[in-house]
Structure 1
Amino acid sequence: MGVATEALKDFKGFHPKKLPDVEPLSPGHRACQGCGEVLALRQVMKALGENVVVASATGCMEIITSPFPQTAWRVPWIHVAFENAAAVISGVESAYKALNRKGKIDQPDVVFLAYGGDGGTADIGLQALSGALERGHNFIYVCLDNEAYMNTGIQRSSATPYGAMTTTSPPGKKSIGQRTWKKNVAHIAAAHGIPYVATASPAYALDLMNKVKKAAMVPGPAYLHIYSPCPTGWRHGTDLAIEVARMAVLTKVFPLYEVIDGKWILSRKVAKPKPVSEYLKLQRRFRHLTEKEIEAIQKRVDEDYDKLLRLCAMSAEPAGDKAAEKE
C-alpha cells in the first residue's frame, strides 16, 4: 500500500450542507467581475482552513489580493517571484521541520501551499516545481490555469489551448492563433512519481475541495491543476465562468481525475459528451476558428480522453488478483 493510499484509507469528504465557514481568503479583493480563478482559490482555502502557510507566485491572484497596504489574506502569506513559488515553499517547509525538530516551535501539522498561474507553473516556474516534487517536500502546489499570462496582458503560455486568440498569438490570414497544443502539466507532475496528483474545476466545488483535503492529508508533495475561467482573457460573459468550466468537463476538454500512488482514477466519466463546439462557442477567443479547425480540436480531445481512459484501465486491479485475495 502506497503512502497516499494509506493516508486516505479513512478519508471522509466534505458534506455539501456542512462546508467550512472559515474564509482564509476574505472578500473585498480586486478581482475582475466573474473571475473563475479567485473562486477556485477561495474553494482551495476553505478546504485547507487557517493552519496554512501560503507562497504566491507573481500573477493575477497576487495583484488582486495584496494591493499595499491592504490584503485579503487571513493566513501567513508571502509574495515571491514569478518562477520560484515552489522553491520558496520548499524552504519554508524545511525551516518549519527543523524548528519543530529542535523544539523551538510546536506546530507539526501546518499545511504548506504554493500556487501560481499557468505561466508561473508550465513555463517560468517549471524547473523549481520539478525540483520540489523530486525532493519530496511535504507541500501542495496548485496551478490556477487560466491558459495565458492574463495579469500582464493576455499573452500566450505553453498552457494556452490550440487555436486560442491572445495578444501574442493573434489569428489572421497566416495564423490560426495559438499554434501549439496545450502542455499537460498534471501528467508531468504524475511522471515524478509523487503520491498525489489531481485535476479539479470550480464548477464542481465539492470535488475540488475534497481533492484539496486529500492533498493536505497525504505525506509528501501533492499537485493540483485547477481549471480557472477568465472572462477578460477568454472573452466570455462575466456570468458564464461556471457554465464554461462545466462545459469544459462535459466536452472532455478538461477531464477530472486523480493519480494516487501512481494509480489513475477518473473522477467523473463523461458517458455522453457534448461536442467541443459547444464549449468553444461560449468564448470569443475561439470565434475565428473554421469548421475544419474545430474538427481537428475535437479529434485531439477524443484522442487525449481515450489515452486517459487507458491509463485508468491499466491502473485498475485485475479481476484475477481480486479473486486470489479472497482465497
Structure 2
Amino acid sequence: MAEKTTILNLTEEEFVHSGNRACTGCGLSIVYRIGLKALGKNSVLVVPPSCLTVLQGLYPVASTKLPCVNVTFASTAAAATGVRSAMMALGKDDVNVVAWAGDGGTSDIGIQALSGACERGDNIIYICYDNEAYMNTGVQRSGTTPQGVLTTTTPIKGKLQVKKDVPAIIAAHGIPYVATASAAFPLDFYDKVKKATTIHGPKYIHVHTPCPPGWGFDTRYTIKVGKLAVETGLFDLYEIENGSFSLSAPSQRLVGKKRPPVSDYFAAQGRFKSLDTDMVNTIQQQVDAKWAA
C-alpha cells in the first residue's frame, strides 16, 4: 500500500502561480493547486468553458504553469482523447493527459464525450470539480445540483429533482478507476490523483467543491462546509478499483458512528433556505438508510 500523503511529505513544487482570478475562498483553487502537485510537470490539461477558465486567466496571462488546451463545452473528453493520440504519435505516451471540467460540462453538456472515452478505454484522467451549479455563468441549476437548492433558474422552491450520481454512471462503464474526493480533504484528493497517474485506461475523479458565492456562505468557511458534507454522510468519499468498492478514510470513520444531522450542513448555506422541515427530515432518512445498508 502506498504511503499516505501528509503535510510533511507533500511536494513543495507549485504549478499554479500565486495570482489568479478565482473568487475569494474558492474551493476549486484548493483542488486545482493540490491536483497539479499530484500530476507533476509531465502533464497536459484539457479544459472547457468554466470557472477554471476564469481562474487560469486569459491569453497571454495564465496562472497555470502547465500546457493547457481550451476546448468547447461538449468536447472535453473527446479533445483529451485527441491529445492522448497526439502524445502517442510523438512517442510521449508517459505524459498525463488530464481533462478538468465542472459539473455542468461533465454531468450535462459533456457527458456524451465522457461516456464515449470510457467505452473506448482511452488512457486519460478526467477530473470533475462539482460545485453543484453553473457558477461561471450566474448560478444556474445543473444535473448535480442537489434537490431543494435555490439557483437563478430554480429561484422559488429550489430544484425539484435529486442530484445526478455521475460517479455511479461512470462506474457502470467498467473503467479501471473511479473515485470521489472533496476540497475539504485535499490530501485524500492528492493521493487519488497520484494513484490515477499509475493506472492505464480511463480514470474518473469526482470532487465536491464548495463555492462561497454560489452556495451562500462566508468565504472563510469553505473547508468547514466541505467537511460537513462528508461528516453528515451526504457526500461519500470512496474508490472503485477494477470493480472493487472501498470507503476512503474520512467516510470510513463514520461507519457505526453518530453523524451530525444534515440540517447542520443545510443551515450553513443560503442556497438551502427554501427547504422545509419535512424535506429535511426526508433527506435525513435517506442518508440514514444509505449508511445503514
TM-score range, shorter chain: over 0.9
TM-score by length of 1: 0.85
Contact in 2 for aligned 1:162/1:297 (Cα 8 Å): no
Aligned AA (2:31): A
The match for 1:250 is 231
Q: Which of residues 135, 140, 143 in structure 2 aligns to 1:158?
A: 143
Contact in 2 for aligned 1:65/1:73 (Cα 8 Å): yes
Report the CA distance between 1:179 and its aligned residue.
0.3
The 2-side partners of 1:114 and 1:302 are apart by 34
Q: Which of residues 281, 291, 299 in structure 1 aligns to 2:277?
A: 291
Q: Which of residues 100, 106, 109 in structure 2 aligns to 1:115?
A: 100
Q: Is residue 126 from structure 1 mapped to residue 111 from structure 2 by the alignment?
A: yes
Contact in 2 for aligned 1:165/1:177 (Cα 8 Å): yes
Offset from partner CA, 1:214-257 (integer Å, 9 cap, x none)? 11111111000000000010010100110000000000111100
Q: How does 1:40-119 map to 2 (within 5 A)?
A: 40-100=31-91, 107-119=92-104
Q: Percent identity?
A: 46
The match for 1:222 is 203
**CA RMSD, Structure 1 to Structure 2 (Å):** 1.3
The match for 2:30 is 39
Larger radius of gyration: 1
The match for 1:321 is none
TM-score by length of 2: 0.95
Q: Is residue 204 from structure 1 mapped to residue 185 from structure 2 by the alignment?
A: yes
Aligned AA (1:296): T
Q: How does 1:135-146 map to 2 (within 5 A)?
A: 135-146=120-131
Q: Secondary structure at the match of 2:22?
A: coil
The match for 2:258 is 272
The 1-side partners of 2:7 and 2:64 are apart by 25
Contact in 2 for aligned 1:93/1:138 (Cα 8 Å): yes
Q: Secondary structure at the match of 1:84?
A: helix
The match for 2:216 is 235
Gaps of 5+ in 1: 1-9, 101-106, 311-327
Q: Secondary structure at the match of 1:75?
A: coil
The 2-side partners of 1:20 and 1:110 are apart by 19
Report the CA distance between 1:304 and its aligned residue.
4.0
Contact in 1 for aligned 2:123/2:201 (Cα 8 Å): yes
Q: Secondary structure at the match of 1:240?
A: helix
Offset from partner CA, 1:39-77 (integer Å, 9 cap, x none)? 111111111111100000110011221223210111111
The 2-side partners of 1:139 and 1:164 are apart by 33
Report the CA distance between 1:305 and its aligned residue.
4.1
Contact in 1 for aligned 2:84/2:93 (Cα 8 Å): no
The 2-side partners of 1:95 and 1:256 are apart by 34
Report the CA distance between 1:287 and its aligned residue.
1.5
How many residues align? The count is 288
Offset from partner CA, 1:87-114 (integer Å, 9 cap, x none)? 10101101211221xxxxxx34211100
Q: Which of residues 124, 132, 140 in structure 2 aligns to 1:147?
A: 132
The match for 1:28 is 19
Aligned AA (1:68): Y
The 2-side partners of 1:288 and 1:134 are apart by 40
The 2-side partners of 1:127 and 1:26 are apart by 33
Report the CA distance between 1:282 and its aligned residue.
0.4
Report the CA distance between 1:25 and its aligned residue.
2.1
Q: Which of residues 176, 187, 191 in structure 2 aligns to 1:195?
A: 176
The 1-side partners of 2:274 and 2:172 are apart by 35
Contact in 1 for aligned 2:148/2:275 (Cα 8 Å): yes
Report the CA distance between 1:157 and its aligned residue.
0.5
The 1-side partners of 2:142 and 2:289 are apart by 22
- 264-273 or 110-119: bigger deviation: 264-273
Q: Secondary structure at the match of 1:223?
A: strand
Contact in 2 for aligned 1:197/1:259 (Cα 8 Å): yes
The 1-side partners of 2:291 and 2:50 are apart by 30
Q: How does 1:304-315 map to 2 (within 5 A)?
A: 304-306=290-292
Q: Secondary structure at the match of 1:83?
A: helix
The 2-side partners of 1:261 and 1:222 are apart by 11
Contact in 2 for aligned 1:200/1:227 (Cα 8 Å): yes
